[in-house]
Structure 1
Amino acid sequence: MVYNWIDIIQDYLLPPTCILCGNPGQQARDICDSCYMQLPRNNHCCYRCGEILETLITAPALCGRCLSRQPAFDETYAPFIHQGAIRHLINTLKFSANYKNARLLGMLLADHLRQSAEQPELILPVPLHDSRYRERGFNQAIEISRTVAKELQVPLDLTGCKRCRDTPHQIQLSAKKRHKNLKNAFSVVKPLHAQHIAILDDVMTTGSTAHELAYVLKKAGANRVDVWVCARA
């Protein structure tokens, strides 16, 4: 009840405003109905890795890559495609530290998860290496996950896993080189006491990061690892 009153007072003093167009936001969120309806949805995708499928599907399906080589994680939930307004929200969070974007992205992701995903015991944001964290000053996955954890009432773990290698940027690398680049990049540094864990990140491109992290988590004792991302590239 206290938190509800805080939200009511905050909305009264600082009413939500659409980040994308400046019009009044809706449902206590910084996005208007018009901009929300135009967000690029990832409605037809591989249930394992979230890859966008060209053909319409009516039942859960796997892409060719997952059929030939299954990733270490079990399912991916990626409600949006990494283009247009979603790409803008993610990029201006990651590279311009627009923290309000993290709250909006977290709320949008939580909406999708509430309707479609089995609730895990733990949310684990993809960790940054210490040097990358110092360079950027924050971890966008952590900022998004704070809102998701609050919305879904799932515990958040920020210290159980560490990125132990400062891997080069992945943007220009092929899928094969991304996988090699991330080999042994993560380690579990304390018992997680969870059988079902959700890895959370802003965007998935090839799934190499999620695969390597899920592999480490399962080696440490997890039975199921899902991937929660705002968007799929």
Structure 2
Amino acid sequence: MQILNQKNCVLCAIPAKQDLCEPCYNHLPQLPLNHCPICLWPVPTAEICGACLIKPPAFTRTIAALRYTFPVDAMIHALKYQTDLAIAPILANFFITRFKATEKRIPDVIIPMPLHPIRLRERGFNQAMEISRYISKHMRIVLLPDSCQRIKHTPPQTGLAWKDRQKNIRKAFSCSINLSGKHVALIDDVMTTGATLNELAKILRKQGAAEISNWVIARTLPEINQIGSHRL
């Protein structure tokens, strides 16, 4: 007898009740238990890390669903570069599950990380927007899709040192909406150094945002034996 609505796990392809089978879901790469609440960098005491104390970023906190390593990196790559839009709600659900398990405070609005028009034409869609739409709908939070623009077309941040990333992304965004007193959730797929998120957060602060939470699917972190100093 054929089972109706039978799914296959998107990672291992075995029959599954959900998008991922239970073994694959249980082995997704998790963040370290103790980490900086602002940038998620691993710290032994789960307190604010030295870098965020010395130079506080414009954002208030960061919440990530998972760590950016296999297979999460492959799923995000499939969404961004292989136009596998079916991956977007799966990634969004990873975040929603994490948020509901650990957080209570709901932001006022969601702003997706904007793409420059040239990059948007090349890709055909904005992955942050696709993820944001799903989260907005299922968490019933107002989505502001066109409130911010990327006005500077920059080379990809991948492979750049943190200082070069900051310089590369400087003055890349504009925002026209009044955010006075608002708690904003800024959504992106991956946080690496945080330079891009921080640059947009600076603009949101100028527009009056009182609180800015980074909501990302995955946070890039080094292996445990490689953890040292870092900068945003």
TM-score, L = length of structure 1: 0.88
2:189 maps to 1:202: yes
User: Which 5+ residue runs of structure 2 have no aligned equivalent?
Assistant: 221-232
* Secondary structure at 1:84 match in 2: coil
Count of residue pairs brought into register by the alignment? 216
Q: Deviations over 1:21-80 (max 9, x none)?
A: 112333xx3111110100010133211012234x4x4xx412221121110000000121
CA distance in 2, matches of 1:131, 1:171: 18
Q: What letter is aligned with 2:58?
A: A
Aligned pair in 2 of structure 1 residues 85, 199: CA closer, same or farther (>3 Å)?
same
Quick one: percent identity of the two aligned structures?
Answer: 38
Q: CA RMSD in A?
A: 1.6
User: Which 5+ residue runs of structure 1 have no aligned equivalent?
Assistant: 1-11
2:100 maps to 1:114: yes
Q: Deviations over 1:187-220 (max 9, x none)?
A: 1123346610000000100000111111100110
Cα displacement (A) at 1:13: 5.7
CA distance in 1, matches of 2:196, 2:16: 34
CA distance in 2, matches of 1:146, 1:194: 23
CA distance in 2, matches of 1:166, 1:52: 32
Q: Deviations over 1:84-113 (max 9, x none)?
A: 111111111111111111110001101111
Aligned match of 1:75 in 26, 41, 61? 61
Give the aligned partner of residue 87 of structure 1: 73
Q: What letter is aligned with 1:31?
A: L
Q: What letter is aligned with 2:24?
A: C
* Secondary structure at 1:79 match in 2: strand
TM-score, L = length of structure 2: 0.88
Give the aligned partner of residue 97 of structure 1: 83
2:50 maps to 1:24: no
Say whether the 8 Å CA contact 1:121–1:194 is kept in structure 2.
no
2:35 maps to 1:45: yes
Q: Deviations over 1:116-140 (max 9, x none)?
A: 2321011111000000000011111
Q: Deviations over 1:144-177 (max 9, x none)?
A: 1111112211111111111111111111211111
